[in-house]
Amino acid sequence: MQRSPLYTILFATAVCIVCAVVVSSSAVSLKERQDFNSALEKQRNVLIAAGLLGDKEKVSPEEIESRFASIRGVVIDLETGEEAADIDPLTFDQKKRATDPATSRVAPANAALVKRLPDYVLVYLVEGETGAIEMIILPIEGYGLWSTLYGFLALDADLETVRGITFYQHGETAGLGGEVDNPRWKAKWDGRKAFGEDGLPTIEVIKGPAGPPAEDPYRVDGLSGATLTARGVTNLVQFWLGENGFGPLLDKLGTREERRAA
């Protein structure tokens, strides 16, 4: 049976609308899944930095969420160290905030090549039954050799003893700078001291091997064949522990003498 031109047009339009709805729904569903996986991967890396999950430990998403329940996310004002209780840490997007001129500022010149600083940042606290801080996990980022590295640094209750470090995103060369992912190298950070006797960020990745933490507290083994990546890690860790990073927050949580006496 011959169809009229109007029928053909209407039929084609209907097919296009149906296809558009299907594609749109699929895209939304895919983005939701990607967002969920991204959030889960961040939680996993926070747990690894805190020593609450093994690097090679295989656990379900439910187990990750269960272990993460002991950690409290807190949004803070980067310049003052004050908590921003009115900002929901569950929906907070630090990367987006750092790239928006309305919610960020140009960073002072720095060796880590951090370009912009967000007005607020998300940190994670492990607290005891009394509410006392047992560990704090700080987001860190900075340039290596080929890429910006994004990760977390965990400090003990004294806010100067390193408990762990991990990187969840970077583009460094596999087998060289990519060894920042090596669990054996990351384990070398545990027990090191982040700050020197003068209170300034001192911990650094050196060329060659460092001594044990008790004898060589401020230095971490180098990365073979990846001097520039290692230098980048030093720069980014020192930057975020300094006055333009989390210095105001750490000062607000207590002076060096107060923390050591606690």
38-76 pLDDT, tens digit per residue, is 788 889 999 999 999 998 899 999 999 999 988 999 999
Task: Dig out the tokens for 261 from the structure.
Answer: 């006496």
3-state helix, strand and coil shares in percent for the chain, rounded to the nearest 5: 40, 20, 40
Q: Is the pLDDT of residue 113 over 80?
A: yes
Strands 204-205 and 219-220: parallel
What is the predicted pLDDT for the residue at 19?
73
Q: Which amino acid belongs to residue 36?
A: F
Overall pTM > 0.75: yes
Task: Dig out the tokens for 103 from the structure.
Answer: 């919610």
DSSP state of 211: -
| Rounded Cα–Cα distance for residues 39 and 51 (Å) | 18
Q: Identify whether the C-beta of residue 176 lies closer than 8 Å to the C-beta of residue 229.
A: yes
Task: Dig out the tokens for 236 from the structure.
Answer: 């980014």
Q: 């050591």: which residue's tokens?
A: 260
Task: State the CB neighbour count (10 A cutoff) for residue 55.
Answer: 15
What is the predicted pLDDT for the residue at 149?
97
| Rounded Cα–Cα distance for residues 159 and 132 (Å) | 12
Instruction: Return the SS3 of 44.
Output: helix
Which residue in 133, 135, 148, 166 sits closest to 43, CA to CA? 166
| Rounded Cα–Cα distance for residues 102 and 7 (Å) | 51
Q: 């926070």: which residue's tokens?
A: 46
Q: Which amino acid belongs to residue 105?
A: R
Instruction: Give whole-number Cα distances, 93 to 20, 64, 98, 149, in Å.
Output: 29, 20, 9, 17
Q: Using one digit for the tens of pLDDT, what is the confidence trace for 114-168?
A: 999 999 999 999 988 888 899 999 999 999 999 999 999 999 999 999 999 999 9
Of 58 and 192, the one with more pLDDT? 192
Task: State the CB neighbour count (10 A cutoff) for residue 71.
Answer: 17
Q: What is the DSSP string of 102-158?
A: GGEEEPPP-TT---EEESEEEEEEEE-TTS-EEEEEEEEEEE-SSSEEEEEEEEETT
191 burial type by CB count under 10 A (0-12 exposed, 13-18 middle, 19+ buried): middle
Mean pLDDT calculated for residue range 9-28: 70
